[in-house]
């Protein structure tokens, strides 16, 4: 059986890595979305503004770290693809 060219194999690996990375990004972003919902709803229930601010900081931190790590993974995968071509 004939093997696919090296470039196609590298491209396929890149697609799989980006797809899995995207799924992991979504899984980690879901709690940030939940925190965003809490930040908008809790003040209506009379929760202290200090708690809401703390949750908002946690929300932005979680999402920011998730986004930075996702972008690093995509760039690293892209760099590996370019090196393998």
For residue 55, give its domain range.
25-84
pLDDT for residue 1: 56
Number of domains the chain is built from:
1
Structure tokens that stand for 23 in this block: 């799924």
Confidence at 82, pLDDT banded by 50, 70, 90: confident
Domain contains 12: no
pLDDT of residue 2: 63
- The pTM of this model reads 0.80
Is 14 domain-assigned? no
5: phi then psi, degrees, rounded to nearest 5: -55, 150
Strands (E), the chain: none
Extract the tokens encoding 50.
């200090």
Fill in the DSSP letter of residue 5.
Answer: P
Q: Is residue 76 part of a domain?
A: yes
| Domain-located, residue 10 | no
Per residue in 12-62, pLDDT (tens digit) is: 889 999 999 999 999 999 999 999 999 999 999 999 999 999 999 999 999
In a domain, 13, yes or no: no
């Amino acid at each position: 059986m004939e093997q696919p060219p090296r470039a196609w194999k590298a491209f396929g690996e890149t697609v799989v890595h980006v797809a899995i990375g995207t799924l992991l990004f979504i899984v980690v972003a879901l709690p940030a979305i939940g925190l965003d919902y809490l930040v908008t709803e809790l003040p209506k229930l009379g929760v202290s503004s200090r708690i809401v601010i703390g949750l908002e900081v946690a929300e932005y931190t979680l999402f920011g770290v998730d986004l930075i790590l996702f972008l690093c993974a995509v760039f690293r995968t892209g760099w590996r693809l370019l090196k393998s071509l």
